[in-house]
Structure 1
């Protein structure tokens, strides 16, 4: 008979291999459960329709690219881009394809009437901007939103700066309500914000410019539960309002101050900033064009 001798080191090696295999099996099982849980959570999240009016300019792709990264981070956002144009442009289509957002977006287009277009060196506040485009997006939402599923509408201008946390707050908006929060760097102040009473109800705003407005609030400072827009089907933006009254025009048709829902830690956090991209100085590009030389972006989408 042969004597079988098992060395302690061999036993330990076998034991470690066995433990490793158990760990791998457990890890895979846990990972599958976690993936399933995350997927279910995402499916339960309300859809947030983000309306972005846009128009052709040198900075357009840069602005939209920055926004597209938010959609990569928040899976419940649906992007409605409305071009101020007679036709849809290839630039916007290319951007959505590159960002893999075609299934979570829609591109619309409608041209602003000439009488409401800014001219040359007109300041950007001289005429209402984006009214035509936002109204077309509202029409699309009313025709396509599922009335049986919670959703919100947010007017997401392409030159602002947004945190991902803002959209977690928007998802908290209750049916029949408009959510509000502070906006940084707007209205000549470091922050414009709703003012609350001891019962956490909105009783006013700290706006310094035209505080008499019914809702002295920036477009980036509120979002609307979609059921309100379906209920008040005639609520739209208008050109026939004073400067700075676009926000009040839409809100006065669907809600009252007392029904506003304060968000962002009872309006104590800034989660969005009213930033603006400086107009690009293209003096040398203009010289190339005037002298009929090849443009610097010839064959390149900038």
Structure 2
């Protein structure tokens, strides 16, 4: 019997779409334990089915028994625990994929992996747009997790202006942490990365003219990012500094590259 305030059973097509997405997020040996969470028993023949089909059959059986939609939401919450995934980027890609399918029924997967109610999307295109389309594209580009972390709230709100600002802040903060240098913008880069300062943060061995040139080039790129994107957005009115979706994607991808180079850099004696 359905519990009070429980959601009604989901349609077979919705259960199938969600289970297909969940099947991509789990491994075969995990299916039996996930089905056990729903208190459904499997026939031996079920083991020959695909992952999504086994999940689908289990949810359908549990929904028929309970006469409500809780089994599907329980399964989503179980699969989408962030600890199950090897990286934040992997989790994010699956979170978006599952949310796209749930939005038509008025649910989405939050950033902590839990299922939340949201206004019901009326069309698939609307659902895809509302399912953090920008973040899905960033995940497809394999953007550094630090960029996604600093931009999380802004990207969910489709706020490109602040997403660009936070991405720049994240690069500067990592550079400060690595080098121990203070300041901001060009002065921070000079103190941490310029050849005349040591440098404290070295992007390579600095043994050849080419390597020293690369060091200078990356330092110049950091200055350009801070000067072009961070300084104007920090001081200009939002209406005067319109950041398009295309520019935001390019900037966040560039910030990702800088994060990776900083991760691989050598910190020399301060």
Q: Same fold (TM over 0.5)?
A: no
- Of structures 1 and 2, the larger Rg is shown by 1
**TM-score category (smaller protein):** under 0.3
Q: TM-score if structure 2 supplies the norm length?
A: 0.24
Higher relative contact order (CA 8 A, sep 6+): 1
